[in-house]
Amino acid sequence: MKIAIGADHAGFSLKEKLRLKLAGDGHQIVDFGTGSEASCDYPDFAQFVAREVAQGRSDRGILVCSTGIGMAMAANKVDGVRAAPAQSDDEVRFTRQHNDANVLTLGARYLDQHRALELIEIFLNTEFDGGRHARRVAKIAQLEK
């Protein structure tokens, strides 16, 4: 799977660990930065990953900041992106099954590498259920910006 990944300074360390593990597992990784722990602005990286996914150049996106919330808010400004912050297995599973989320946002403050990778595994391997959920996802796309 081709995965776009990005982080701000708070998520940099975790992003690097995730990037290496996912690449080692055979995924094609497109890293949009940041490249250090120097202070930076999370919306910059959220938009790079979100556009990559929305334009179909990557299958899924992963964003990491302190909480995952700011990245989700910024990524969801891009048409075609359904970004969700999640910390539990159920949140990740349902956001894929019911909402067809294409970007997962993670909080480095709350997750270690092992737990983040467990959530990513669910995110990458859970299919969208379609059916009644497809109708609801289509309504999201019709909402005014």
Q: What is the pLDDT of residues 61-89, one digit of tens each?
A: 999 999 999 999 999 999 999 999 999 99
**What CATH number does residue 27 fall under?**
3.40.1400.10
Q: Which of 9, 98, 114, 133 is catalytic?
A: 98
Is residue 144's pLDDT more than 90?
no
28-41 pLDDT, tens digit each: 999 999 999 999 99
Please indicate whether residue 40 is annotated as part of the active site: no
Average pLDDT, the chain: 97
Domain count along the chain: 1
Residues 18, 117 contacting (CB under 8 angstroms): yes
**What pTM did the predictor assign?**
0.97
Q: Is the pLDDT of residue 145 over 90?
A: no
pLDDT value for 115? 98
CA distance 72 to 100: 14
